[in-house]
Amino acid sequence: MSLTMGGGPFAHDAPAAVNYRIESPHHSLFMHAFPRRVRAELGGETVLDSRRGMLLHETSLLPQLYVPTEDIAEQLLAPSDRTTHCPYKGDASYRHLRVGDRAAENAVWSYPEPAPEAGWLAGFSAMYWNAADAWYDEDEPVRGHLRDPYHRVDTRPASLLVRVAWGDTVIARSARPALLSETGLPNRYYLPPDDVRRELLVPGRTRTMCPYKGRATYWTLRLHDREIADVAWSYDDPLKDARDVRGHFCFLHEDLSVVAERV
């Protein structure tokens, strides 16, 4: 993600403050080895098992895992008549994945005759993330998608006074925020729950999954007879990169005022 989005070298908004020129098409591809074993399971069976995976970084897209075709269980694949064309990679053919009475239609694709500039895709196949019940990076369950080795999440205590308000109503005020920096994204302030007016917030329906931080719960603001959804989020059981913001609140909404001042 850091290579292809958020101002990365292969992003559409690539930085200008460099001493090199990348001679590449408007849409770039970069493939490199993924350093660990990856497995996928469907219906209780291992359908993909590879120590030779490759991550394909592609402009404006999340990295995609490709593995040697023989690392996907051939006996569980069935032909499909679906084809698609990518102007950068070539014509893709698809196969269904079937385990007992479970089926994932058009789950696996490959480029039998890739475009000349992507010839290294020959012999590799990819599988949709949601085609499997579970994925593993070595023995660790993967949430969301494989973690990009070029993507970082760092949290630091910061000497800031952060004030969050909706109009004249102060929702949170904290002099001990955690500043979370994530590759390609703006810095975010995470505020301890004791510094938030919890009586104004109720859990909302929205849930999201970040492969770097974990599953987020979103919060609804209740003011008098109004309810404003998704004004903040928090991680009750974060992944290791976000453990320092466990239970903290991060506020972001177009009608909120979030002001941070040095103290």
Question: Residue 168: what pLDDT?
Answer: 93
Q: What mean pLDDT is reported for the chain?
A: 94
User: What is the tens place of the pLDDT at every residue in 160-209?
Assistant: 999 999 999 999 999 999 999 999 899 999 999 999 999 999 999 999 99
Question: Residue 224: what pLDDT?
Answer: 84
Q: What is the 3-state secondary structure (H, E, C) of 172-202?
A: EEECCCEEEEECCCCCEEEECHHHECHHHEE
CB 100 within 8 A of CB 133: no
In sequence order, what are the beta bridge partners of 161?
A: 261
Question: Residue 13: what pLDDT?
Answer: 80
CB 2 within 8 A of CB 154: no
3-class state of residue 74 by DSSP:
helix
**Would you say residue 24 has pLDDT above 70?**
no
Rounded mean pLDDT, 231-244? 96
3-class state of residue 251 by DSSP:
strand
**Would you say residue 258 has pLDDT above 90?**
yes
User: What is the tens place of the pLDDT at every residue in 124-166?
Assistant: 999 999 999 999 999 999 988 898 888 999 999 999 999 999 9
Position of tokens 């993967």? 142
Question: Residue 16: what pLDDT?
Answer: 84
Question: Residue 144: what pLDDT?
Answer: 81
User: What is the tens place of the pLDDT at every residue in 36-75?
Assistant: 999 999 999 999 999 999 999 998 888 999 999 999 999 9
Rounded mean pLDDT, 65-90? 97
Question: Residue 1: what pLDDT?
Answer: 54
Question: Residue 6: what pLDDT?
Answer: 75
> In this structure, what DSSP letter does residue 129 have?
G
Question: Residue 104: what pLDDT?
Answer: 97
Of 13-22, 110-119, 135-144, 159-168, minimum mean pLDDT range = 13-22
Of 4-18, 91-105, 129-143, minimum mean pLDDT range = 4-18
CB 10 within 8 A of CB 59: yes
Question: Among 90, 152, 150, which Cα is nearest to 124's?
Answer: 90
What is the number of alpha carbons within 13 Å of residue 175 lying toward its C-beta?
2
Domains of the chain: 29-141 (2.170.150.40), 153-262 (2.170.150.40)
